[in-house]
Homo-oligomer: A and B are copies of this chain.
Amino acid sequence: MEDDAALLVIYGKKGRPKKFLVKVKRGKVLHTHRGAIDLSSLIGKEWGCLVETSKGERVEVHRPTIADHMEKIGRVTQIIYPKDAGFMILKSGVKPGDTVIEIGTGSGAFTIALSNFLGAEGRIYSYELRKESIEIAERNIKLLRLNNVVLKHKDAKEGIDESDADAVFLDIPDPWELLPQVYERLKPNGKFVAFVPSCEQISKTVNMAREVGFGLIEVHEILDREYESDERRTRPLPMMVGHTGFIVIGRKISKEVAVKGSEEARA
């Protein structure tokens, strides 16, 4: 590894492991409460190696996963969490090579999850209105060397440029406003997946989705309960994330009936 992001993990006497997501760079030293680590010394080492701090404490060196990057980004800005992201992608029906549109890039946490799943042949067009978000997202995408993402600093309400999308993901406060346009931009049977924090937004999104012509509309909330386990005991952690958002999904249905109740079927 060199110029790569690395996830350093130090275990204390008790409590949860402490994680540091750093860039491995010549001449850089990471100072922690359990000693310093010369990051130069990691260059050329294998992922998954063990190193020692100046105080002799053991440190695990992990290649960060997408979920690790999301977790780090989530500590700074509000994001779609791994618990939500995995479910949203699976339910959207997308596969490597697909083309998707994202409305509301935010800091790019979900964008990088999508990018990873769609692979080199896939394409993500991601719209974001706020300049500071675009800048954070750009930094994150560059850090992860993603080649299949097109960031667009633009209000999607003024027009989505792409069409024939396999899925459209919306993480904005008023996704219902965009659903008529989203319907037009999707392939036949394409999906929309909206992420909204409140009950009122569920209701508005579902009702507009029905009106516009989406079928099989579902609303889910995903909860992630984490446990600790050692030789003596296994139990859920005392505090948990109680709420991030609700996931609303719909599938595009054509507006006209293709097959009228046929005589054969009646027989």
Contacts and interface: CB of A to CB of B under 8 A. Distances in A.
- Contact count band on A: 35 or more
Contact of A53 (B49, B117, B265): B265
A35 interface: yes
A83 B93 contact: no
Interface string A35-46: 111101110011
A18 to B, nearest CB: 11
Nearest to A41: B259
B48 A251 contact: yes
Given A230-B207, A254-B46, A65 B82 contact: no
B253 A48 contact: yes
B259 A51 contact: yes
Contacts of A86: 85-91
B83 A87 contact: yes
A198 to B, nearest CB: 4
Q: How many copies does the complex hold?
A: 4
B218 A226 contact: yes
Interface stretch (A133-141, A150-158, A174-182, A240-248): A240-248
Contacts of A260: 52
A131 interface: no
Q: Is the interface of A mostly helix, strand, loop or mixed?
A: mixed
A56 interface: yes
A227 B236 contact: no
B54 A266 contact: yes
Query: Which of A90, A117, A255 has the most chain B CB atoms inside 10 A of its CB?
Result: A90
B219 A60 contact: no
Q: Which 7 A-B pairs have the closest CB atoms?
A: A240-B242, A86-B86, A48-B189, A96-B119, A65-B93, A199-B199, A236-B243
11 contacts: A17-B216, A35-B261, A48-B252, A50-B257, A62-B251, A86-B86, A86-B89, A199-B200, A207-B230, A223-B224, A239-B241
Given A53-B261, A60-B253, A65-B191, 16 more contacts: A35-B265, A42-B259, A45-B259, A47-B189, A48-B189, A48-B190, A65-B93, A67-B90, A82-B91, A96-B118, A199-B202, A202-B229, A235-B243, A239-B239, A239-B240, A239-B241
